[in-house]
Structure 1
């Protein structure tokens, strides 16, 4: 399983408090994550925490442009891909032109009407995340009768829109959007149904890192959630998930290696 390390080039991230807002600090952090074993770096310039201030594509690119260029070039030498966390079509295009390999759109193409057609014309993969409403209103739509059936059906509809816009099916990666328009317990239900998500026929990305539903379980500040985040990473590896997106790469690398070793030992005993 791939480990996607998070590089937040933001002054207001919920999880790291803007520790990497300076481009030089963000680049250094990206290098550290590669050293820890990240096989993908996900670079973002806009926080989606409650009360966040939306950026224009130009403002977003001013934050992340240098980081994308440098880490894409260095990643190519180390077999590490760069993903850019954006819902702006212009930022997606500039990022791929600068060397990024993946566009990670938390809105599934809903925020920018040009996103899907833009990505269709780029040489990149596309992470399509499930959400309802928009980044401001999504919590108003967090009511489900059957969260697994509804989220997966809505993901398939979003996938079909992306394919109709010209994005090749094999370039689409599905993300159920843990924490986005989903109350606490529903996130655990989705995780338990991960095999059903794999059955949709696409690579799957899960972003559980430090999220509120984990905090509801263990309490503490966001960094206190790294251990349960890593436990979930190990679980995902056992269920053949393509990648997990995390802040603490070293912890998840260790958890995945341990889980896979246990699975290997169990198979030897069978």
Structure 2
């Protein structure tokens, strides 16, 4: 009996030792993978700050400059504060700049073209009261890395090619899709449609509710719907508010305005067709 107990105890100790060795090996592999990943991204620090310390990113791309302000966990476009920004795109830029490392530090060779022109991508970041400006050049054909300059630094750097991609955006690329009326299907209690002077009360079908609460695809602040054909207006009631949505047809798109909001929004054609179909169904009933 004692022999069996000693054998079981020995096996238990062996299992514990093997488990510890496996855990140690796993941690070592994870550290090695992390180190390899960091090395692949670069080890020469160019920009480093805590995410909450960032206050502004200025991006100049293809001759267009957009100034992004960060405050209280949100983002605004300085040139157009009413413009609805895509938070994910802005957060991706912040993450890229919070730990921007270079792979190599070089000395510019006379006569060499590194792709720095008047149209180069330029990114200026302000965080914790410190401002840094980076200019992205051409891609190195051999490595796929991108040349980069830091203002106030005479060195030439290379960074991973993907570092520039999140900044290669125009204002239209920064738009964040949303529902400007703030409607959800479950909150809508009643809808009145007006078309060509005729007022109708359509059935609240799933398709109609989805159309009224669908997202817009672009925004023009202080947009004027003049010159576009008005198709229908929907007065939408919820327990808390009444919203008036007016739909228009233009030369190339369909549009939406929301009463009390000076923006002109672009909407998907299927959304408008659903609204008009509900209008027609109500007229036939």
Higher relative contact order (CA 8 A, sep 6+): 1
What TM-score, normalized by structure 2, do the two folds share? 0.19
Larger % of strand: which? 2
Larger radius of gyration: 2
What TM-score, normalized by structure 1, do the two folds share? 0.19
Larger % of helix: which? 1
